[in-house]
Structure 1
Amino acid sequence: MLGTGLILSGPPFIHVPLLDRLAPAREAGFSGISLMPGDIWSLEREGMTAAEIRSRITDQGLSLEEVDCTACWLPSHRSAGDDIPMASLLRSLTPERVIETAARIGAPSVTAVEMMGIAPSLDEAAEAFAYLCDLAAPHGLKVHIEFLPFGGIPDLASAWAIVQAAARPNGGLTVDSWHFFRSGSSFDLLAAIPGAYIHTVQINDAPAQPGEDLMQETMTGRLLPGEGSFDLPRFIRTLDATGCTAPVSVEIFSSGIASRPMAEAIRHWPGAAHAVIQKARNGK
């Protein structure tokens, strides 16, 4: 069964300094957070150590659940052109740098994404993912691919094929409800994947009709769980049935977030997520 505590996903709050996110997350009812490599690097440049950053998180009663993400882990990523959106940032998120950072701060896992629009062969992706997992293993880190419908690893089937081909015990998946539904991924496949391979779960919602630009929609148009069209109860029940015990993150990118105080923006997120989870487990 999925974890009972809720994690606040860091990427929607890239505009808020990490230390300023902690009290609002705790006060809203989150038990943990994910963060980005840049959150750590920024504070280290200001003179804080990774141990001090970790202590500030735990002093707020929060757990650190993942570092999101490494985005330059395929060989072809390193030679991607500057015409790709956020190319400079994405190329800075190399396996070596991100894994070392996650180990330094004591995170349990690292997400791997493909956001440069590069569709790798299965052999290329499996070899690169195996290297990433091997780099992480001595630090006790898990690594999980998050598939993105607008990226080169667009759906659950593609990501699962890479994890299987890499065959690393610390390799697995992130399953985000927005990406799952917008990619048209299969519930039958989700039900067939052993839960131990699903390392993190993210929930959110969206309107029934997809936007014309999926990248724009995912970054600006997500809704609270229960406010959109996704069959989240079935999503939760399916994951529970696999034996998945992964933590559940709430990740909502919305165009209005940056203009509101963070505490106000996230106030209702845990309640909405818990309501959907409870509805799923009540069989509704």
Structure 2
Amino acid sequence: MLMYHGLRVRCIGRAGDLLMAHPIGLAHLSAMELEPAALIDLAADTGHASVALRLHSAAAGTPVYPMVPGSVETLALRDYAHSRGIAISEIELVPITHNLAPDTLRPLLQVAKELGATGLIVTGDIDDRALLIDRFAAICKNAAAHGLLVHLEFMRWRAVGTLSDAREVVERSEQHNARILVDLLHLARSGGTAEELATLPPDFVNLVQICDATAELQGDIIAEARGGRLMPGQGALPIQDMLSALRGTWNAALELPGMGEGDARRTALAEARAQVEKLCR
């Protein structure tokens, strides 16, 4: 059992071998209305090890908290996170679209480096697979110069909608820092299984976003993803099977919007983190 920012976690691989510790982070979607410093406070108050920050617009009309490289605000946020014992793990969320020029992300990548982040989260939104792979590879190359991994997140309603799609893009990009982000809700809703996860090479997944959900989709899939997730153990997803299927070393993050505000949310997120620890024993 290892220590990471004061949190002790261990997970057992599908063959029963003890893997590296999996620190539990907090995704910004869990409290999108909070500015980065307030999210850091929430993570610290609920026993999380790290945060992923929404510094790039994921969709029109959704909250975003852009930062300027080298600014007083950026460096102050880095220092504040350190003072609270919270790592800034990833910067999100960049949709790879026809209109996105990879070089325009250089300021964002510099901010990520200054904050001490280790990864950039992206989605695939170009139907032309060859063009998408070319753009993804270019982003990976730029990110590598800043010491960052690039986590490709698949979602059923996007061009990269399944684990198989994401695997193809990562494999064909041939970039050493390309990874797949596995969100357990998106895996389930796109027809993915623990058995499919078990076929991935050990170094393909570095980040897993955890929540629970009903067995079948009830209502709109995007609305569910953004506000209809359930706490681990309150739904029907085979969370433990999914986590146990993963090989290699990976980090876990709770993504739980809709848990209320104030004390109610703090209690819910602390309980959810504790439940994930139990699943990982």
Counterpart selection for 1:65 from 77, 89, 101: 89
Shifted more, 1-10 versus 217-226: the winner is: 1-10
Partner of 1:215: 222
Partner of 2:22: 4
The amino acid across from 1:249 in the alignment is A
The amino acid across from 2:210 in the alignment is I
SS of residue paired to 2:52: strand
Deviations 1:172-213 (A, max 9, x none): 111010101111113332101122121211100111220231
Partner of 1:21: 39
> TM-score, normalization: structure 1?
0.81
CA contact (8 A) 1:232 1:276 kept: no
Shift of 1:247: 1.4
Name whichever structure is richer in helix by fraction. 1
Q: Note the 1:52-131 alignment, pairs <5 A.
A: 52-71=76-95, 73-74=96-97, 76-78=98-100, 95-114=105-124, 118-121=126-129, 123-131=130-138
Counterpart selection for 1:139 from 130, 141, 146: 146
Q: Distance in 1 between matches of 2:257 and 2:73?
A: 29
Name whichever structure is richer in strand by fraction. 2
The amino acid across from 1:120 in the alignment is D
Counterpart selection for 1:51 from 75, 85, 88: 75
Shift of 1:104: 2.9
CA contact (8 A) 1:110 1:142 kept: yes
Q: Distance in 2 between matches of 1:171 and 1:251?
A: 22
SS of residue paired to 1:21: helix
Percent sequence identity over aligned pairs = 23
Quickly say closer, same or farther: Cα 1:277–1:21, change in 2 above 3 A.
Answer: closer
CA contact (8 A) 1:70 1:93 kept: no
SS of residue paired to 1:201: strand
SS of residue paired to 1:200: strand
Deviations 1:254-275 (A, max 9, x none): 2x53xx22x4313233433443
Shift of 1:94: 5.1
* Root mean square deviation of aligned Cα: 2.4
The amino acid across from 1:51 in the alignment is L
Counterpart selection for 1:235 from 236, 242, 246: 242
Question: Which consecutive residues of structure 2, in runs of 5 or more, have no partner in the other structure?
Answer: 1-18, 57-63
SS of residue paired to 1:195: coil
CA contact (8 A) 1:64 1:107 kept: yes
Partner of 1:251: 255
Counterpart selection for 1:151 from 139, 144, 158: 158
Quickly say closer, same or farther: Cα 1:229–1:37, change in 2 above 3 A.
Answer: same
Q: Distance in 2 between matches of 1:224 and 1:195?
A: 27
Q: Distance in 2 between matches of 1:105 and 1:232?
A: 31
Question: Which consecutive residues of structure 1, in runs of 5 or more, have no partner in the other structure?
Answer: 79-90
Partner of 1:265: 265
